[in-house]
Amino acid sequence: MFKRKSKEYRVRRKWELFDREGYHWAWHDEKLKGVLKRFGMDMKCCRQRIGRGYCDEDLYSIHDWFFAVVPDMLEQYKNHRRGSPGILGENYANEKGILVNDTCHAEWDEILTRMIHLFREADETTCQKKNSHEAEFYRIYDEFSEKHGHFGEKLQTEEELRENADTGSITWHSPEELPEYKEEMEKYRAEEDEIKAYRERCKDEAFALFAKWFFHLWD
């Protein structure tokens, strides 16, 4: 029976060159020829990133690239920076009568921490909110696939079979169409919609902070 991997494992990060899973499937499809082809593609992407800062693979999903790269950049910037925006904190005279502002650092840390957290919560892969019905969702899909085919092709009507034969397409059927799965699938979809709405709010707040402090993100 076809077993699905966890969501974290199934999501392939497009910016990760020389990805082990990519080479696994290259070997599965074309053996040594596939591996060499995959290696050539990865080397091409390395050259592109060196020459122009991004590669063709990054263009496959720019938002995935952003969520993978920018929060980590902000994390490193926060932990290793030497200064903070002077407009933050409060100016005061120290014991020598010199005007200083060392309270800006904690305030800048707080802003950066919030921004990083929000970007990571907006990303499906790193969001801490998980669907409580996910395990049952995948159990249902595994059972459904075994009984009715991965795309529910065994549920196709005679009319659908004729239409598919004429057009070269496939009519997809899902577990929601069957009474025994309907209630649990509706629970999963409802909770998934709530998580998507939460991630959307995180994304909007993160970009609002990013835009506000954009020209201060330097050291």
What average pLDDT does this structure show over 155-178?
91
Side-chain-side CA neighbours of residue 207 (13 Å): 10
**Residue 218 vs residue 16, higher pLDDT:** 218
Among 64, 63, 100, smallest CA distance to 83 is for 100
Q: Please tell me the predicted confidence (pLDDT) of residue 183.
A: 95
Q: Where are the domains of the chain?
A: 7-17+55-216, 18-54
Q: Please tell me the predicted confidence (pLDDT) of residue 198.
A: 98
Q: Please tell me the predicted confidence (pLDDT) of residue 22.
A: 84
DSSP bridge pairs for 93: 99
Q: Give 15's pLDDT tier (boundaries 50, 70, 90).
A: low
Q: pLDDT per residue over 23-59, tens digit each?
A: 988 898 899 999 999 999 999 999 999 999 999 989 9
Q: Please tell me the predicted confidence (pLDDT) of residue 112.
A: 98
**Under 8 Å between Cβ of 118 and 205:** yes
**Under 8 Å between Cβ of 111 and 209:** yes
Predicted TM-score of the model (pTM) = 0.80
Q: pLDDT per residue over 68-118, tens digit each?
A: 899 999 999 999 999 999 899 888 888 888 877 888 999 999 999 999 999
Among 204, 15, 218, smallest CA distance to 115 is for 204
Does the structure show a pLDDT above 80 at 7?
no
Alpha carbon dihedral 87, 92, 94, 99, in 10-degree steps, equals 60
Q: Please tell me the predicted confidence (pLDDT) of residue 13.
A: 52
The burial of 118, by beta-carbon neighbours within 10 Å (0-12 exposed, 13-18 middle, 19 or more buried), is given as buried
Going from the C-alpha of 148 to that of each of 55, 66, 134, 141, 174, the distances in angstroms are: 40, 38, 21, 10, 9
